[in-house]
Structure 1
Amino acid sequence: MAQVWRRWHRQWHGSVLAALRSSRWPVDVLADRKQPALSRVYGWIIDRKRRRETGHVQRIAPPHIPVFSVGNVTFGATGKTPFVQFLIDYVLKQGREDLVPLLLSRGYGDDEWRMLAKQFPACQLALGADRVAIGAAKVKELGGDTAPLSCVVLDDGLQQWRLAKDLEIVMVDALHPLGNGLLLPCGSLRERPRDALVRADVVVVHHANLLAEEELKVLMTSLKALLDPQRHPIVATSRMKVVGLIPAHTLLSEEKSDGTEAAVEIEKLPLVDRSVLIVCGVGNPESVTKVMESLARWVRVELKAFPDHHAFTSGDVDDIFERVRELRSNGSVTVVTTEKDFARSPRAMRTLADNVDLRVLRCELELQHNRDQVKERINSLLNIT
């Protein structure tokens, strides 16, 4: 009975998410779609909150420490975390060794910030719901005007209206640009697209490589029409570049005492003549499936999707084992999960790694169209020539 309930819950969650995020209309229509009653109430509340907070904008760091905000118009996977990874890595490589970024995050989900902290141990970290108070306190703790910071990276910052920003970066998922065009709770929009995108300095269309060229052109043209030309906005594209499928036991066995992972041997791709079972609890599991399908001629690629930020239980592990046994009738099976899932549920992942061929899909965001313009805008704020 418990297994039936878990399966039903996953299917229900997947169907609801698909309804909220999917669309049959182009972006320019979605931007002005008529809202149902509940969404109108939500929109009224958000409008009042935005007007109130934009009238009391506060700076949390001195002017020479720029604030880079990375956010989205819709909830769910838009490439926000990969871009934060890209941005922190870029700043660390471009800046002075004595200056490091400060990552300012709510800390929701307990997986993203842990993964980022592990990947960038030199980066300062501040967590909390009140980003203005937490950020200002952290900058003051580090020395205020003399804080050894190159910049502040504000994670999920688009709706942080009280916080002064120097660069507003908005991520848009190419597969589900504006969801179904409806505001929460009937859709996935966190605010009206025109109200949000008019504040954007940079818009990054993520997973652009998964769209046909003509579809991408239409999407980018529609997005440009929603931007404020006085901000000289940049519309860029990005994709997830696969670094490798890392054997999970390698990551588990080579952790250092300080919690950071040792260097690992990344197995060359592709692996062939086997089935792949994708196990993940992320906002856009469809994109993970598309990435895996592009790697090799697998016998079969199957997705077992869980809710975003899902903490895997022993029951979930049992369900995965059962499905692996069924798939083995057609040959070898590899179970693939994401870095977020691996970081979030270490006990469950260890159990899986001890019993099946578990691999961690490691990807990195790669800017494509207008890559140089985005980097120039970042460099100008970092005073890098």
Structure 2
Amino acid sequence: MPWWTSRGLIARIFLPLSLLFALVVLTRRLAYRRGWIKSIPMPCPVIVVGNILVGGAGKTPFIITLARELIQQGYCPLILTRGYRGRSQTWPLLVDSDQDAAIAGDEAVLLARRAGCPVIAGPDRVEAAHFGFESFRQEPRRVLLLDDGLQHYRIQRDIEIAIEDGDRGYGNGWLLPAGPLREPLGRLQEVDFRIVNGKSSDADMVLQGDILVNLADSRRESISNWRGRKVHALAGIGHPERFFRQLEQSGLEVIRHPYPDHFGFREEHILFDDPLPVVMTEKDAVKCEKFASKRHWVLPVEANVEHRCIQAISHRLEAVMQEKQGEQDG
């Protein structure tokens, strides 16, 4: 929302509601801490990845990179995601790479295609976790990766990772609806790792993408070959401006078409009365590919995470794995 960037009049009008929201958030967290509401323990390590900021901060590319790293280290990561906006009649759902995004949700399908590990979608994360254990009980060294799970306290967590947007910061620093925060800024002092996404010198992660892929025939072209070219750019993600800037920094002339996060694209949304190419994000492409033509392209991105961050997370995970194993042996 426009008023989230400052503490102006509109933000102040919503401030009483933010104070009420803060009371609910803090009471809920206290209830879990004191044991008034029970968190469910899991037999394997649980890593939650999320943020306290409304909108995209880069958590999905980060989870993909983390899952791939864990696989290389001999772990069996199981990603749990909500399946937001998915219309499946049955949950939880083991998501296939060719699953319809309308059924499983756009992020779930994207994770299934890119992470290289099982993805279980479902609004009940505890049920999804048990489903994952049962489905992959023969796999050693299982690890649960809870997508967007920082505020999901029903599952006991062993490692918390907060993804921070180094470009946007935290707006006016107020909670919803006066500001963009889901939890107070002090919550960041409690997590195990803070990963800053951006291009500043102190960033821990940067999103990189330089190959365009055609949605109709899978042709690949270097984005550098498109320098100076005018394109329509579609983005139905949490922070569309980051995608538009990425294209502009690659030398493209961008006609912006921002949409709400998880927008349900239909064919008419990606057609224009000119022959210009259309470029979109991966999360949008999984919803548009079935009615896309040769003018439609996707720009996949990779989360390039500092090695020291991955190494630190790996060391912490190994310690947790040994603790869990000791508890089971005992």
| TM-score category, normalised to shorter length | 0.7 to 0.9
1:185 deviates by 2.0
Alpha-carbon distance in 2 for matches of 1:152, 1:192: 26
User: 174, 191, 195: which one pairs with 1:200?
Assistant: 191
Alpha-carbon distance in 2 for matches of 1:181, 1:162: 26
Amino acid at match of 1:69: V
User: 121, 130, 151: which one pairs with 1:127?
Assistant: 121
Q: 8 Å contact 1:245–1:266 — kept in the other structure?
A: yes
- Alignment of 1:105 with 2:81, yes or no, is yes
1:78 deviates by 0.6
Amino acid at match of 1:340: K
Percent same amino acid among aligned pairs? 29
Q: 8 Å contact 1:60–1:136 — kept in the other structure?
A: no
Q: 1:347-372 CA deviation, whole Å, 9 max, x = no partner?
A: 44x2xx24xx221101100124xx31
Name the counterpart of 1:3.
none
RMSD of Structure 2 on Structure 1 (CA) = 2.6
SS of residue in 2 equivalent to 1:50: helix
1:245 deviates by 0.9
Name the counterpart of 2:259.
306
Alpha-carbon distance in 1 for matches of 2:27, 2:39: 18
Flag as ranges the 4+ runs of structure 1 deviating above 4 A.
Answer: none
Name the counterpart of 1:116.
111
Q: 8 Å contact 1:278–1:303 — kept in the other structure?
A: yes
Alpha-carbon distance in 2 for matches of 1:102, 1:24: 41
- Alignment of 1:72 with 2:51, yes or no, is yes
Amino acid at match of 1:376: A
Alpha-carbon distance in 2 for matches of 1:153, 1:382: 15
Name the counterpart of 2:93.
none
- Alignment of 1:266 with 2:220, yes or no, is yes
Alpha-carbon distance in 1 for matches of 2:196, 2:248: 21
The more displaced of 269-278 and 42-51 is 269-278
1:84 deviates by 0.8
Q: 1:76-126 CA deviation, whole Å, 9 max, x = no partner?
A: 10111111111111111221xxx52111111114101111112245x2232
Q: 8 Å contact 1:282–1:307 — kept in the other structure?
A: yes
Name the counterpart of 1:372.
308
1:58 deviates by 3.6
- Alignment of 1:334 with 2:328, yes or no, is no
Q: 8 Å contact 1:342–1:360 — kept in the other structure?
A: yes
Alpha-carbon distance in 2 for matches of 1:77, 1:315: 25
Name the counterpart of 2:242.
287
Alpha-carbon distance in 1 for matches of 2:237, 2:50: 16
Alpha-carbon distance in 2 for matches of 1:245, 1:362: 7
- Alignment of 1:138 with 2:120, yes or no, is no
SS of residue in 1 equivalent to 2:182: coil
Q: 8 Å contact 2:207–2:304 — kept in the other structure?
A: yes
Alpha-carbon distance in 2 for matches of 1:23, 1:88: 37
Q: 8 Å contact 1:35–1:182 — kept in the other structure?
A: no
Name the counterpart of 2:102.
none
Structure number having the greater helix percentage:
1
| CA shift in 2, pair 1:141/1:279, >3 Å | closer
Amino acid at match of 1:275: K
Amino acid at match of 1:202: F
Alpha-carbon distance in 1 for matches of 2:139, 2:40: 15
Amino acid at match of 2:312: E
Alpha-carbon distance in 1 for matches of 2:157, 2:181: 22
Q: 8 Å contact 1:311–1:345 — kept in the other structure?
A: no
TM (norm. structure 2) is: 0.80
- Alignment of 1:278 with 2:259, yes or no, is no
Alpha-carbon distance in 2 for matches of 1:187, 1:281: 21
Name the counterpart of 2:317.
381
Alpha-carbon distance in 1 for matches of 2:280, 2:163: 23
Please show how residues 106-255 of structure 1 align to structure 2 within 5 Å.
Answer: 106-109=82-85, 110-120=105-115, 123-143=117-137, 147-194=139-186, 196-207=187-198, 209=199, 211=200, 237-251=204-218
SS of residue in 2 equivalent to 1:135: helix
Alpha-carbon distance in 1 for matches of 2:272, 2:57: 30
Q: 1:274-308 CA deviation, whole Å, 9 max, x = no partner?
A: 21221110111111111111213x3x222111111
